[in-house]
Amino acid sequence: MTHGERARGGGGAPRPVPGGSFHEMWRELAPVGRHPGSGGYRRFAWTGADSECRAWFEEQARARGLVHEVDRNGNQWAWLGDPTAGDAVVTGSHLDSVPDGGAFDGPLGVVSSFAALDELRARGVEFGRPFAIVNFGDEEGARFGLACVGSRLTAGQLTVEQAHRLTDGDGITLPRAMEAAGYDPDAIGPDPERLGRIGAFVELHVEQGRTLDLSGDPVGIASAIWPHGRWRFDFRGEANHAGTTRLVDRRDPMLSYAETVLAARREAELAGAVATFGKIAVEPNGVNAIPSLVRGWLDSRAADQASLDAVVGGVEKAAREYAEAHGIDLDVVRESFTPVVEFDHALRDELARILGKDRDPGLTVPVLGTGAGHDAGILSGSIPTAMLFVRNPTGVSHSPAEYAAEDDCLAGVTALADVLEGLVRR
């Protein structure tokens, strides 16, 4: 262990009963951080609700006789076997939430991990490799505005200096928030040694779309996380009186912006991608004033780089034509971009075999891409990583309406257990 790490679970007698069934674990976790008004979850990093979730994780680990450990970045690990032996098989997800998030995004992966371990033990599987369940800290970025802080720090994709500058809405910095929750903020930083001891990471997650619902499958395998980015479109015209300025005399940037929104929809449909103008700023923002500036943010994601380029290129070309037609100046700035994350092909193919023809020679499991980011995506730059998705009948996520049927959740547990059995036996 490095400075700042804490190991527990070595001393004291384990609880007489092992942690509960999937159903019992789900029921135990359900009220934690749930807002009575909205019915959604508010489990923000390093708050009381987060601490309760983390205490629950530790309890589940200890109930199963696993060694509980918190790493230097506040991620929780529950180990079976020697963590230092190398080539470990790790599964897990996160327990924090977006504001008024659903019950499944994150917790489904953690609860399924404990349930899958119980299943492996019930099957009498012998573990030929160390095994761990992980709860990554601050995945959603709800409090400090950056997603996947725990895994990013571990993988060295977020520097200590950047992490120290993260501040929440009340002006509390990440180090102070960690300290208040009982962790040592001076310990945070990259953890290549820890990652070097992991041979495979598998994250089970509720699907945040309807691909599995449409294909009629309870479980699927991730192929990749789509490349995605944000672009700012500044349309500049001329502010003037909404009552006295003749239509022909106007330079109204709202018109070019509105046409650009429609172009984004058209281009996304053509490319089989998604494109969204979900945020806008208007100056002077008066109900009786023609705007001088309309600033719109485009979020676009596509299955591959060429499709994303086609969408954004098409939107920008259309925007320039509309701007010119209305006498508007246009600037387009790329504010952020994340290239495609391809999950490890060998591991993905192994999962497809285990869940497909190993079960039934004619069976294939859907392999799907996703437009959402995950800890698994961050770690895939350092270690072989794969994801399983569980069907979400409405596709709704980051909302109290997020849902997965219990039968599908249990199919997810079985799938995860099958995959882990294949991996740990080696």
Among 78-86, 102-110, 288-296, 322-330, which window interacts with Zn ion (CB under 5 A)? 102-110
Q: Which is nearer to Zn ion, 91 or 260 (CB)?
A: 91
Among 2-10, 27-35, 104-112, 263-271, which window interacts with Zn ion (CB under 5 A)? 104-112
**Coil vs helix vs strand at 252:** coil
**Cβ(259)–Cβ(322) below 8 Å:** yes
Q: Which is nearer to Zn ion, 110 or 120 (CB)?
A: 110
What is the distance between the alpha carbons of residues 320 and 30, in angstroms, rounded to a whole number?
50
Six token digits for residue 357: 């023809």
CA proximity to 384, closest of 221, 200, 224? 200
Match 């001076």 to its residue by tokens.
186
**Coil vs helix vs strand at 169:** coil
Q: Please identify the residue of the shown chain whose CB is closest to the bound Zn ion.
A: 105
What is the distance between the alpha carbons of residues 415 and 83, in angstroms, rounded to a whole number?
24
Neighbours of 100 (CB within 10 A): 17
Does position 377 interact with Zn ion (CB under 5 A)? The reply is no
Question: In whole angstroms, how close is the CB of 41 to Zn ion at the nearest point?
Answer: 12
Question: In whole angstroms, how close is the CB of 139 to Zn ion at the nearest point?
Answer: 6
Q: Which is nearer to Zn ion, 106 or 130 (CB)?
A: 106
Question: In whole angstroms, how close is the CB of 202 to Zn ion at the nearest point?
Answer: 14
Tally the C-alpha atoms within 13 A of residue 9's C-alpha that lie toward its C-beta: 23
Q: Which is nearer to Zn ion, 94 or 129 (CB)?
A: 94
Question: In whole angstroms, how close is the CB of 327 to Zn ion at the nearest point?
Answer: 45
In the window 36-65, what residues touch Zn ion (CB under 5 A)?
Answer: none
Among 36-44, 101-109, 335-343, 392-400, which window interacts with Zn ion (CB under 5 A)? 101-109
What is the distance between the alpha carbons of residues 323 and 235, in angstroms, rounded to a whole number?
7
Q: Which is nearer to Zn ion, 225 or 352 (CB)?
A: 225
Question: In whole angstroms, how close is the CB of 108 to Zn ion at the nearest point?
Answer: 9
Six token digits for residue 332: 């387009």
Q: Which of 40, 83, 92, 106 binds Zn ion (CB under 5 A)?
A: 106
Q: Which is nearer to Zn ion, 106 or 356 (CB)?
A: 106
Question: In whole angstroms, how close is the CB of 209 to Zn ion at the nearest point?
Answer: 13
Task: Report phi then psi at 351, rounded to 5.
Answer: -60, -40
Beta strands in 13-72 (DSSP E): 67-70
Neighbours of 425 (CB within 10 A): 13
Please report, to the nearest 10 degrees, the dihedral formed by the alpha carbons of residues 122, 124, 130, 132 taken in order. -10
Does position 141 interact with Zn ion (CB under 5 A)? The reply is no
Question: In whole angstroms, how close is the CB of 134 to Zn ion at the nearest point?
Answer: 13
Does position 105 interact with Zn ion (CB under 5 A)? The reply is yes
Among 98-106, 181-189, 378-386, 410-418, which window interacts with Zn ion (CB under 5 A)? 98-106
- The number of residues in the chain equals 426
Does position 299 interact with Zn ion (CB under 5 A)? The reply is no
What is the distance between the alpha carbons of residues 42 and 335, in angstroms, rounded to a whole number?
28
Please report, to the nearest 10 degrees, the dihedral formed by the alpha carbons of residues 66, 68, 69, 75 taken in order. 100
Does position 138 interact with Zn ion (CB under 5 A)? The reply is no
Question: In whole angstroms, how close is the CB of 95 to Zn ion at the nearest point?
Answer: 10
- The residue count for binding Zn ion (CB under 5 A) is 2
Among 106-114, 121-129, 235-243, 345-353, which window interacts with Zn ion (CB under 5 A)? 106-114
Among 103-111, 160-168, 171-179, 413-421, which window interacts with Zn ion (CB under 5 A)? 103-111
Tally the C-alpha atoms within 13 A of residue 373's C-alpha that lie toward its C-beta: 18
Among 99-107, 150-158, 268-276, 322-330, which window interacts with Zn ion (CB under 5 A)? 99-107
Match 């891409």 to its residue by tokens.
369
- State the DSSP string of 99-125: TTB-SSTTHHHHHHHHHHHHHHHHHT-
Q: Which is nearer to Zn ion, 185 or 377 (CB)?
A: 377
Residues that bind Zn ion (CB under 5 A): 105-106
